[in-house]
Structure 1
């Protein structure tokens, strides 16, 4: 156990024995270590604020809450300005993230390679999503102006999305991020990245991170497939400039509006990734802050062309084959990146026993059963990669509706009696691509 004024680090194997701080070379392949920072509100739910593993630092989603009264007093305002409320919450959140990163011995401004920002908005409505309107109408500069005070040039790759709700009432923002613990610094190949904030592309050692792109020459009248095709074309040029290529993609995050846009995105996806596609998570009901008319956004994590690390596709017959064009998971070194986990079979339908019987509408706990089913599959995939369920280190959990959160979280936590993964929880507000599914998981695990 490593203690300091800024916080403490606990290894997954023991929290009772004293250890010397690990060197950089040790941390690059190191087993997961939990980080509990001082001066930061302890989470209300069972997750770890941060975990160091394999040279990466994973930060759990941070909210502007004291986890006692709701929104923290120092993040509140009597102002009628939505921008003022978002600005105050952003400052509170980024300050806590900075303390959490520091407790792990890193510098947030220098070492952040990837950042996600989830901002709440009542827009778009479900009817607007269905008609292809994905604009959330959030005054994002209120957050970015605060965020950029904590970051350095070149900043990390970034995703900023509008969502329906977060886990604490009246919170407007959740931030989670990844830092790299290699003693190096970010390198960007884009002239627009020479200021604090986010960068379209960031190289850090073996890795290349590309920000969520809604890039399209003209969105007017263009289908999801057409926009996705132009986005992949642009991502390919960014990857090439950074010394990588789409064939070196390891993980993709795809954000769409209405679930019906999945099929159009999938056509473009298969065109650009015909063989050996990266692990992929596709999240619906995303309010796209990049501009009106956007129907899809994509972010990529890739290996550089000159990296000696090997990309390995993982498959096991003990878990369902994905129902669309992605692998079960991709392994690179000590990290295992999962494709989207939902309570579905290989045909894309809800797995048997995952819903209440229509004749018995008040019986059963479907959100719990669905989580148990997904974790059984995650465990099988971990085993096929030479790891185990207890080595899951990060999850982002997207719920159809908030009332399914507690039941699913309770089941999740029961599978991790020791080091609990970092966690971010988002409410989407509508049904998932798999009809009847309550939860979509984005998972990263450590491989010894």
Structure 2
């Protein structure tokens, strides 16, 4: 098993100001950055990803052109790291709700009524384009709409976790009729000591929301978000246990929530505590604009499970010098060569720091509130890493979710400070306002760190 390495990859590199490596490796895995078809010199799309201006309807599907360029870069990055597209075990795909300078709709508007057909247009074309590159045994998949991507003209970003060729681990996909997705992806992948699930949603893929996730409309009874969560976890558990995993061995959960889902976090936490009464997994709560797989859904979940019978292990990390995890969660869980952290927010024990709140109110144009939050995240992550026996510099994967892309330049400048030996593979996204686990915070970060 190798230690953390980052790679510079001609043809898939990022500019100096963008703190991400194209690919980073740790243990048996290669983690790619979130790749798009952006031309980083001009800010527009790469020439290969654009229809010809005079023949916009006759020179290729605009989304598929971008998909092909993004996969070309992913392939370059993985090959440089000693992996490949066909070794992928987990894939995330992100699509924007707003393009260019388009203004966001006011809070409270129904995004499904406004953007469902556009989300469908991009997702359908993306899936067809993906199938040109991932031919069989496709990785476990999540496809999520956010508000914006870094590239204003980009329709899709893609990130992969793939096995290294020399890892000694092979992958196999598994299926179960409790969850039969229409998108052609695998619901789960076995990879040596781990199982990776796809993003599950509370649907039967026929009628919309699964009957177990619906609440009666004519009485004041039931919480749809809680029932979506319960049904989604039920389906994951059945499929995962059929593949040989055990619920108590879940090491990481990513919980994608719409703004309505975020507002119902207390109800979700009650479900969580019943599922994992003690030693719950690390949990990253990721705000999204919608749930792409089911109209009017609010919850999507994927899990990573360790398998002791295949050499996997699970250690809950407690760092006394870091803030306690929010909700029914833990600060981090180590499994083999990887450390999975829970949601990271730039906060105090009581919420957004008074200093950040004052700076945002009194000096909003300086963006000092962003710097304060980033440095608090750094401090907490560093303390958790130290308690686990590693370092923040060993971070291999980062996803950062900002509620305002105008904060991105300040965030990027502050974010790169700890990484003196190459950047993690990263993605940076805009999500709905006040949609973080602490609504007053401006950024959520999800990280995976390599153990030395």
TM-score interval, normalised by the smaller of the two chains: 0.7 to 0.9
Q: Which has the higher contact order (CA 8 A, sep 6+)?
A: 2
CA deviation string 1:346-371 (max 9, x = no partner):
34x21232223545555661111110
2:41 is the alignment partner of 1:68? yes
Q: Is the 8 A contact 2:253 2:283 kept in 1?
A: yes
Counterpart of 1:34 in structure 2 is: 6
Deviation for aligned residue 1:76 = 1.3
Deviation for aligned residue 1:401 = 0.7
2-structure distance, mates of 1:94, 1:424: 16
Where do residues 294-373 of structure 1 align in structure 2 (5 Å cutoff)? 294-347=297-350, 349-357=351-359, 358=361, 365-373=368-376
2:354 is the alignment partner of 1:380? no
2-structure distance, mates of 1:319, 1:224: 30
Q: Provide the TM-score with structure 2 as the length reference.
A: 0.86
CA deviation string 1:66-104 (max 9, x = no partner):
2012211111125379x9322211111012111211112
Counterpart of 1:256 in structure 2 is: 257
When residues 362 and 175 of structure 1 are mapped into structure 2, their CA distance, relative to the original with a 3 A threshold, is: closer
1-structure distance, mates of 2:367, 2:202: 45
CA deviation string 1:36-58 (max 9, x = no partner):
22333534512211011111111
Gaps of 5+ in 1: 1-27
When residues 435 and 215 of structure 1 are mapped into structure 2, their CA distance, relative to the original with a 3 A threshold, is: closer
Counterpart of 1:91 in structure 2 is: 68
Of residues 71, 74, 88, the one that matches 1:112 is 88
1-structure distance, mates of 2:228, 2:65: 35
When residues 132 and 230 of structure 1 are mapped into structure 2, their CA distance, relative to the original with a 3 A threshold, is: farther
CA RMSD of aligned residues (A): 2.6
Counterpart of 2:130 in structure 1 is: 147
Gaps of 5+ in 2: 204-209, 216-222
Q: Is the 8 A contact 1:152 1:197 kept in 2?
A: no
1-structure distance, mates of 2:367, 2:48: 42
2:162 is the alignment partner of 1:179? yes
2:235 is the alignment partner of 1:234? yes
1-structure distance, mates of 2:451, 2:151: 33
2-structure distance, mates of 1:129, 1:275: 38
Deviation for aligned residue 1:194 = 12
2-structure distance, mates of 1:289, 1:39: 31
Counterpart of 2:174 in structure 1 is: 189
Deviation for aligned residue 1:196 = 10
When residues 272 and 131 of structure 1 are mapped into structure 2, their CA distance, relative to the original with a 3 A threshold, is: farther
Q: 3-state DSSP class of the match of 1:203?
A: strand
Of residues 155, 178, 190, the one that matches 1:203 is 190
When residues 155 and 360 of structure 1 are mapped into structure 2, their CA distance, relative to the original with a 3 A threshold, is: closer
2-structure distance, mates of 1:335, 1:183: 17
Counterpart of 1:24 in structure 2 is: none
2:394 is the alignment partner of 1:391? yes
Deviation for aligned residue 1:233 = 0.6
1-structure distance, mates of 2:185, 2:111: 31
2-structure distance, mates of 1:125, 1:155: 35
When residues 355 and 194 of structure 1 are mapped into structure 2, their CA distance, relative to the original with a 3 A threshold, is: closer
Q: Is the 8 A contact 1:93 1:175 kept in 2?
A: yes
Of residues 425, 429, 448, the one that matches 1:444 is 448
Q: Is the 8 A contact 2:14 2:21 kept in 1?
A: no
Q: Is the 8 A contact 1:208 1:302 kept in 2?
A: yes
Q: Is the 8 A contact 2:290 2:298 kept in 1?
A: no
